[in-house]
Structure 1
C-alpha cells in the first residue's frame, strides 16, 4: 500500500502520494504521440521537428519515473528525475514552434512583414529557448542539493520567466506578420489562392500550441512562487490539468496539422546551407 514517507527527519519531498494510474495514463498518451511525431518527422524530412520529438521522450521518461514514485515517496533521485524531465519537455516543444514561424514566413515570401529580420527569427527565439532550458535545468538539478531548495526554485522561476518573455515576443511577431499579410498579401499568397489557405492552416495551430505552452509556463511560475506548501504543489490535480493535459494538447494539435507539410520557399539569396543553419532543411518528397 503506497504511503507518504519523509525524505529526512520530518521533511517530505511530496505533499501527497502521486497517482500511479494518472502517471501511467499520460505516459502512454505521450508515448503514442511521440511515436507518431517521430514517424511523421521522418516521413516528411522535417528535421526541425526533432526537438519536438525529444520533448515527447522527456515527457515519457518523466511520467514513467513519476509512476515509480508512488511507492518511493522518500527517494530523492526519482523525485528529481520526474521533476526535471516533465519541466523541460515543453521547452523542447517550444524550440520546434520557433522554427516553424520562419519557415511559414518564407513559404509565402513574407520576409518583409517580419518585425525581426528573417535570418534572425529562428536564431533569436531558439537562443532564448536554450537559455531558458539551461536555467530551468540547472535550477531543477539543484533540488537534489541540501539546503538549496529555495535557490533552486528561484532559478527555475527565472528560467520560466525567460520562456514567457520570449514566447510573448514570438506571439507578437506572429500576429504582426498575419496582420500585414492580410492587409497586403504577397505574390506567394493571394487571398483566394490555395497558398493563402495553406499558410493560415498552419498559423492558427501555431497560435494554439503557443497559447497552451504559455499557459503552462505561467502555471509553473505560480506553482513555484507559491512554494512547497502552496495549493498548487500540495495538490496533484493542477499539475495534470495545467501541464500534462495542455502538453498532450500541443502534441495532438500538431499531430493533426503537422508543420512538416509547410513548403519551404526561400528568397532568391537564401541557399540550402543558410536554411539548414536556421533549423530548416526540409525538402518536400512529393
Structure 2
C-alpha cells in the first residue's frame, strides 16, 4: 500500500509541476514558499529599464564591450520572469528551472564587464598600477567563471533528475553545485584582492590627477559594483551550502535583498556612471614610461 501511495503522490506532484496550479495545502513548492508577484514585477521592470538604457548607451557611445551589461540584464529579466510566472504557478517545473538557471548565470556577464573595465583602467594609468596585465584578468577570471558555471549546471542537472524520482537523492547534485559556487566565490575573492591592489597603487602613485577627465566616479562605480557582486556571491554560497530546505533558500526576503537588489545596483550604477561617458581618451604617460619612481620624487 505504501508503494501505491508513494506512486500516487508522485503522480500528483508530477501533474502539479507540468501545469499551473495554485498552492495546495500539504504540498510544498520547490522554493519552500510562493514567490512574490510584486517582487517579480518590480525586478523585471528594473532590469528591463537598465537593459534599455544600456542598449541606448551602447549604440550612442559605441563602447561595444558594454554589451555584456545588456546580456546580463536580459538574463536577469528572464530569471525574474520565471519567478513572476512561479508566483502564479508555484509548482511549475519549467518556471522554477527557468529562474534558477538564469539567475545563477547572470552575474557572470556583469563580472566580465568589470574585468574589461579594470583592463581599460590599467591601459590608461599604466602597467605599474597592476600585478596582472589587462588580458590576463579577462582570460583567467572569465575562465574561472565558466568552469564554475559548468560545475553548477552539472550539479543542478543531477539534482533536478533526482527531484523527479520517488525518494530521489539530491545530495550529490547539491554538493556539486556548492562546489561550483564555492570555486566562484574563491575566484571572485582573488579578483577582489587584485582590484584592491590596483586601487591602492593608483592612490599611492597619485596618477589620477594626470587625467584630463577624472575617472574617479567610474572607478568608484566599479568598486561599488564589485562589492555588490561579492555580497551576492557570499550569500549564494551560504544559501546553497544549507541545502534545498535550508533557512536562507526557503525565505524569499534574503534572495530579494541579497541577490535581486545587489544585482540591480551592480549593473544600474553603470547606467549612471557609464564607461562611454567617463573613460578618458588620453593616457597620462606612454605605457613604457614609469608613472611613479621614488628616486625621481626625491630628486624633485
TM-score range, shorter chain: 0.7 to 0.9
Q: Which runs of 5+ in 2 are unaligned?
A: 1-19, 163-167, 289-300
Q: Which runs of 5+ in 1 are unaligned?
A: 271-286
Alignment match, 2:275: 259
- 97-106 vs 40-49, greater mean Cα deviation: 40-49
Structure-2 separation of matches of 1:66 and 1:111: 44
Structure-2 separation of matches of 1:90 and 1:34: 14
Provide closer, same or farther for how the CA distance between residues 98 and 264 of structure 1 changes in structure 2, counting only shifts above 3 A: farther
Structure-1 separation of matches of 2:40 and 2:248: 17
Identify the match of residue 150 of structure 1 among 171, 186, 195.
Answer: 171
Query: TM-score under structure 2 normalisation?
Result: 0.78
Identify the match of residue 246 of structure 1 among 242, 251, 262.
Answer: 262
1:126 and 2:142 correspond = yes
Structure-2 separation of matches of 1:206 and 1:190: 15
Identify the match of residue 4 of structure 1 among 1, 8, 23.
Answer: 23
Contact (CA 8 Å) 2:148, 2:181: kept in 1 or not? Answer: yes
- 26-35 vs 118-127, greater mean Cα deviation: 118-127
Identify the match of residue 190 of structure 2 among 156, 162, 169.
Answer: 169
Alignment match, 1:31: 48
Say what the alpha-carbon RMSD is for the aligned residues. 2.6
Structure-1 separation of matches of 2:74 and 2:145: 18
Q: Which has the higher contact order (CA 8 A, sep 6+)?
A: 1
Alignment size in residue pairs: 262
Structure-1 separation of matches of 2:218 and 2:136: 21
1:14 and 2:35 correspond = no
Query: TM-score under structure 1 normalisation?
Result: 0.82
Rg: which structure is higher?
2
Structure-1 separation of matches of 2:75 and 2:195: 27
